[in-house]
């Protein structure tokens, strides 16, 4: 029999109890609430208005110059793939996709595949689709990733431009775009230097 002054062991303090896995009272320390992560997503931060204005100005000016050159020489210098290249070069100048090696070699590979497909399979959406896939694989092997080059392949297969005029204009316009971003990145304060590498 227990004596009158004996007591049972005290129950552990609630704070010392170990909660079962997955039953924590609140979010883990250092982690934002799940609702907030879902609402904001994992997209990068919104750029400053000056950065967005710079990208708009640089890309639009370059494309207008290409359009003007095309109007003077009566050739389609401004083509959709170059507009996509301008977007990469001026808005993401540090990415591998925007470097001169990727832009120039990418469009050259895309043109070569396009004209090869045109000569062997003719002009059709089926041939354009297969040729674009081949271009993508060759870009990866050549370490020159540039997604607009796949569009160059498709344009060649579907629109059948003359190679003697199209390819020099394509490479000349791409070179002009690269040089424009090279100069612009040194004029704008605190802008990342372009290119990150030439070749």
What is the pTM (predicted TM-score) of this model?
A: 0.73
State yes or no: cis peptide before 47, omega within 30 of 0. Answer: no
**Closest among 156, 151, 96 to 121, alpha carbons compared:** 156
Q: What is the pLDDT along the chain (199 residues), one digit of tens a residue?
A: 444 444 445 555 544 445 455 454 455 555 655 555 556 678 777 767 776 777 788 788 888 888 888 888 777 777 889 989 998 998 889 999 999 999 999 999 999 999 999 999 999 999 999 999 999 999 999 999 999 999 999 999 999 998 998 999 899 889 988 998 898 888 877 778 899 999 8
Rounded to a whole number of angstroms, the CA Rg of the chain reads 29
Identify which of 107, 176, 45, 173 has the alpha carbon closest to the alpha carbon of residue 184: 176
């Amino acid at each position: 029999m227990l004596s009158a002054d004996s007591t049972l062991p005290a129950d552990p303090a609630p704070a010392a109890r170990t909660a079962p896995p997955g039953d924590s009272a609140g979010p883990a320390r250092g982690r934002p609430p799940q609702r907030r992560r879902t609402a904001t997503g994992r997209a990068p931060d919104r750029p400053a208005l000056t950065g967005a204005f710079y990208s708009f100005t640089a890309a639009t000016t370059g494309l207008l110059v290409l359009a003007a050159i095309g109007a003077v020489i009566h050739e389609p210098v401004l083509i959709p793939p170059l507009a996509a290249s301008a977007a990469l070069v001026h808005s993401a100048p540090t990415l591998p996709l925007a470097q001169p090696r990727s832009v120039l070699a990418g469009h050259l590979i895309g043109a070569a595949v396009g004209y090869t497909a045109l000569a062997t399979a003719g002009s059709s959406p089926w041939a354009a689709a297969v040729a674009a896939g081949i271009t993508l694989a060759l870009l990866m092997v050549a370490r020159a990733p540039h997604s607009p080059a796949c569009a160059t392949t498709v344009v060649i297969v579907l629109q059948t431009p003359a190679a003697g005029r199209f390819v020099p204009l394509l490479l000349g316009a791409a070179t002009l775009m690269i040089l424009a971003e090279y100069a612009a990145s040194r004029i704008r304060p605190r802008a990342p230097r372009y290119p990150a590498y030439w070749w």
